[in-house]
Amino acid sequence: MNIYHENILEHYKNPNNSGNLTNFNIKCHAHNPSCGDELEIKLELEKNKIKDAKFQAKGCAISIASTDILLDHIKNKSLNEIKRLNDKNLLKLLEVEINPARMNCALLALNALRKIK
């Protein structure tokens, strides 16, 4: 199994959602001590839906790509819809099997979003 599947590499090299968001309502963080990944996500809400989402991160290809893919997915969704996302939902979006040793990397962004009250 190649952990750097084409979908992962594309989102790692050319993330759609990387950058700063100045008009944000929610900010959440996550850290993966096993890999050293650091992540900050900012969300802009409009009428209780995600209007825009951006992230800034230092991390491996899997954590960066997973974050980018997840943020693409949550745009135009409500906070309640986001809170219902589970690990299986995200892993399906990634379109690649993740080695158990890299699971924390793949789930970093979802774990950050779970901190939203």
Task: Give the residue carrying structure tokens 């929610």.
Answer: 26
For 5-30, what is each residue's pLDDT tens digit? Answer: 888 999 999 999 999 999 999 999 99
For 42-101, what is each residue's pLDDT tens digit? Answer: 999 999 999 999 999 999 999 999 999 999 999 999 999 999 999 999 999 998 888 889
Q: Which of 106, 99, 85, 97 is nearest to 12 (CA)?
A: 106
71 — alpha (psi -120 to 50), left (phi > 0) or beta? alpha
Is 2's pLDDT higher than 60? no
Domains in the chain, CATH or no CATH each: 6-113 (3.90.1010.10)
